[in-house]
Amino acid sequence: MEKKLEVKNLSVSFRTPLGKAQAVRGVSFELYAGETLAIVGESGSGKSVTSKAVMGILSGNAEVLSGEILFDGKDLLKIGEKEFSRLRGNKISMIFQDPMSSLNPIMRIGKQITEAMLLKNRAARRKDKSVPRLKKSEARRKAIALMEEVGIANAEKRFEQYPFEFSGGMRQRIVIAIALSANPEVLICDEPTTALDVSVQAQILKLINKLKRERNLSVVFITHDLGVVANVADRIAVMYAGKIVEYGESEEIFYEPKHPYTWALLSSTPDLETKERLETIPLSPPDMLFPPVGDAFAERNPYALEIDFEEQPPFFKVSETHYAATWLLHPLAPKVGIPEALAERMKRRKAKWTK
């Protein structure tokens, strides 16, 4: 399969008054063409920092300590600012949790979409005179088509409205339309449904699936909620304390999880329908100013071995597509299976969930 994007051994720290916060610690993943890769983990695990590094929009106190971010065979961390900004927002687009933060509250929706197109067209023409000029009327026509593509009814009329006249879900659709206006190949969605009601959430997920299919987009879908990705992800990477601790195909992560953190996440993920009582994960994630020497999950892990407190586990291979970094997979480790309650629960879900 063609690799669209490849992140290798990425480490990012932040300078803070208290010291260096090691937000991302040696993250590697691949995004294949036309797939949706979900990155899942509790708040603070480094998901947003990872995606901001890919977009080149880290804050000023960030420091990329190591890594490569390969797109079209080029390392985004090595190319110049100019080339980077051509890729960012064009071949790679990103949408965020709060659509309001990406929209101008006092500018008509239509203008915000056309403005994005006209700006890009101008920038492209500055570099290459043979790029035809985008006329305003043409931009308007394209913007309305995009609004229709993302499921906004009465697009002609709504083109003239302001963000406050749209619901949260509709605003997220507009932000998606703006992200699509440059015909990206990769779309990074950072908690795009977290601020929305459950029913609206489902609609946005459906839209992302449709766009992925119709535009052959490669999608990175970031969320703290494993329940959300069941219906969108082809593969899942589970992140904890700045590291990926397990990754595999969606089915492998849901039905054959190997890392105790993945077990804990799955056990704390509510079923959309049954709202059954959940187990919460005890304690909090570690302080990234002083990350533990061993497995960062050890102190919250009821299955922790002595070695978990001393040495970071390597990735152990579970299948061609499935890897987990837990000492429990070491041949000499005691045999510990998926907790029984979770296994039961997943069996019930499997019967219900269809992709």
- Per CB under 6 A, residues contacting ligand ADP are 14, 16, 21, 23, 41, 43-49, 59, 61, 288
Q: Do residues 11 and 64 touch, judged by C-beta distance below 8 A?
A: yes
Cβ closest to Mg ion, residue 14 vs residue 323: 14
Residue closer to ligand ADP by CB (options 46, 260) is 46
* 10/186 with CB nearer ligand ADP: 10
Q: What are phi and psi of 297, to 5 degrees?
A: -90, -5
Q: Which is nearer to ligand ADP, 41 or 294 (CB)?
A: 41
Closest contact distance (angstroms) between CB of 309 and ligand ADP is 21
Nearer to ligand ADP, 16 or 183 (CB): 16
Three-state secondary structure readout of the chain: CCEEEEEEEEEEEEEECCEEEEEEEEEEEEEECCCEEEEECCCCCCHHHHHHHHHCCCCCCEEEEEEEEEECCEECCCCCHHHHHHHECCCEEEECCCHHHHCCCCCCHHHHHHHHHHHHHHHHHHHCCCCCCCCHHHHHHHHHHHHHHCCCCCHHHHCCCCHHHCCHHHHHHHHHHHHHCCCCCEEEEECCCCCCCHHHHHHHHHHHHHHHHHHCCEEEEEECCHHHHCCCCCEEEEEECCEEEEEEEHHHHHHCCCCHHHHHHHHCCCCCCCCCCCCCCCCCCCCCCCCCCCCCCHHHCCCCCHHHHCCCCCCEEEECCEEECCHHHCCCCCCCCCCHHHHHHHHHHHHHCCC
CB 308 within 8 A of CB 301: yes
Instruction: In angstroms, give the least distance from the CB of 143 to ligand ADP.
Output: 31
Give how many residues touch Mg ion by CB under 5 A: 1
Residue type, 15: R
Distance in Å, CB of 130 to ligand ADP, minimum: 41
**In angstroms, what is the minimal distance from the CB of 189 to ligand ADP?**
12
The listed partner (Mg ion, ligand ADP, none) that binds 21, CB under 5 to 8 Å by sort, is ligand ADP
Measured from the CB atom, the residue of 188 and 305 that comes closer to ligand ADP is 188
From 48, 112, 181, 269, residue interacting with Mg ion (rule: CB under 5 A): 48
Q: Give the nearest distance from C-beta 225 to Mg ion in angstroms.
A: 12
The interface partner of residue 16, options being Mg ion, ligand ADP, none and the CB cut-off 5 to 8 Å by kind, is ligand ADP
By a kind-dependent CB cut-off of 5 to 8 A, residue 349 interacts, out of ligand ADP, Mg ion, none, with none
Residue 134 touches which member of Mg ion, ligand ADP, none, C-beta under 5-8 Å by kind: none
From the list 43-51, 108-116, 120-128, 181-189, the region that binds Mg ion by CB under 5 A is 43-51
Min separation Cβ 239 and ligand ADP, Å: 7
**319 interface partner picked from Mg ion, ligand ADP, none, CB below 5 to 8 A per type:** none
Q: Are 186 and 137 in contact (CB under 8 A)?
A: no
**β-strands 62-71, 3-16 pairing:** antiparallel
Considering only residues 60 to 79 of the shown chain, the ones binding Mg ion according to CB under 5 A are none
Nearer Cβ to Mg ion (227/294): 227
Nearer to ligand ADP by Cβ, of 5 and 177: the residue is 5
Residue 29 beta carbon to ligand ADP: minimum distance, rounded to whole angstroms:
14
- Which residues of this chain interact with Mg ion, rule CB under 5 A? 48
